[in-house]
Structure 1
Amino acid sequence: MILQGNDPHRAPSFSLGHRVRRQVWNIVYVLLFRTSPRPFHGWRAFLLRAFGARLGKGVHVYPGAKVWAPWNLELGDHVGIADGTTIYNMALIRIGRYSVISQGAHLCGGSHDYNSQNFQLYAKPIVLGEHVWVCAEAFITLGVSIADGVVVGARALVTKSIAQPWTVHAGHPSRHIGQRTHRSPEHAA
């Protein structure tokens, strides 16, 4: 998907086919997704699926959410993606069942290699477990995995994977600040 060794000042970073697909999605996003009424979750799920997203049942993606590439999006059942969220999924972003991504959160699956002469673009997946809550304006970087039940506090910066389930992380950069006491029935000890 990402062209290697190109000069980004003079040439595109993606193949022509990819750029055309993204432009068609952008047109659909602006005309049909973004303008849809807030309660029309099924309509937006239909549009995302039409562009290759793999979505579970009961998914609520709000019209103000920005999805860069639906074909790189996988949502489990009953996932909520709030207005103002950015899903910059140059690589796969997978979000487990019953997870919530709050307003203004940014899941960033791509970056540039600042040590390469051409600032080579690269991407890595982001994987969030089940019952994860990414609070308002939190930032999750590429290559991060987050265990089941984790809460990422508002405006937190997550640059490393979080392996311990049912914990709370906050700060810039994020750090462990507590345990969750309420767990879903299937995860109760």
Structure 2
Amino acid sequence: MILQGNDPHRSPSFSFGHRVRRQLWNVVYVALFRTSPRPFHAWRAFLLRLFGARLGKGVHVYPRAKVWAPWNLELGDHVGIADGTTLYNMAMIRIGRFSVISQGAHLCGGSHDYNSKNFQLFAKPIVLGEHVWVCAEAFVTLGVTIADGVVVGARALVIKSIAQPWTVHAGHPARQISQRTQHVQELTP
């Protein structure tokens, strides 16, 4: 997907096929996804699946959420992705069941090697467990894994994986500030 050793100032960073696929998604996103009424979650889920996303049941992705590459997205059952969220998924982003990504949050799966001669673009996956809440305007960087039940506070910056489940993290960079009480109750149909 990402071309290696290219000159990003003079040539593309992605293959031709990838660029075509992204442009098709951009047209669908602007014309059909972003303009859909807020309650039309099933419609947006259909469009994401059409472009290769793997989604569980009851997923709510709101119309102003930005998904860079649906084929690199996996959402468990009953995941909520709010308006204004950016899923910059140059690599896979996996979000576990019953997790919520609040408005303005940014999950960033790509960056550049600033020490390379050609400012090489690279990507790493982001994995969020079940019952995770990434609060408003938080930033989660590439290669991060977040354990089940973790809360990432508003405007927090997560630059390292969080292995301790059911904890609360906040700040720049995010650090543990509290424990979270585990009150998991499975929804029944």
Measure the CA separation in 2 of the matches of 1:49 and 1:55.
7
- Equivalent pairs, count: 186
Asked if the contact 2:149/2:182 (under 8 Å) is kept, the reply is no
Q: Which deviates the most, 175-184 or 64-73?
A: 175-184
Partner letter of residue 89 of structure 1? Answer: N
Partner letter of residue 62 of structure 1? Answer: Y
> 1:168: which partner in 2?
168
Q: Secondary structure at the match of 1:122?
A: strand
> 2:54: which partner in 1?
54
**Deviation per CA, 1:100-148, whole angstroms, max 9, x where unpaired?**
0000000000000000011100000000000000000000000000000
Partner letter of residue 87 of structure 1? Answer: L
Alignment of 1:1-189 (within 5 A): 1-185=1-185
Partner letter of residue 158 of structure 1? Answer: V
Asked if the contact 1:149/1:183 (under 8 Å) is kept, the reply is no
**Deviation per CA, 1:17-40, whole angstroms, max 9, x where unpaired?**
000000000000000000000000
Q: Secondary structure at the match of 1:137?
A: coil
User: What stretches of structure 1 of length at least 5 have no aligned partner?
Assistant: none
TM-score, normalised by the number of residues in structure 2: 0.97
Q: Secondary structure at the match of 2:119?
A: coil
Q: In percent, how many aligned pairs have the same letter?
A: 88
Q: Secondary structure at the match of 1:21?
A: helix
After TM superposition, what 4+ stretches of structure 1 lie above 6 angstroms from structure 2? none
State the superposition RMSD in angstroms: 0.7
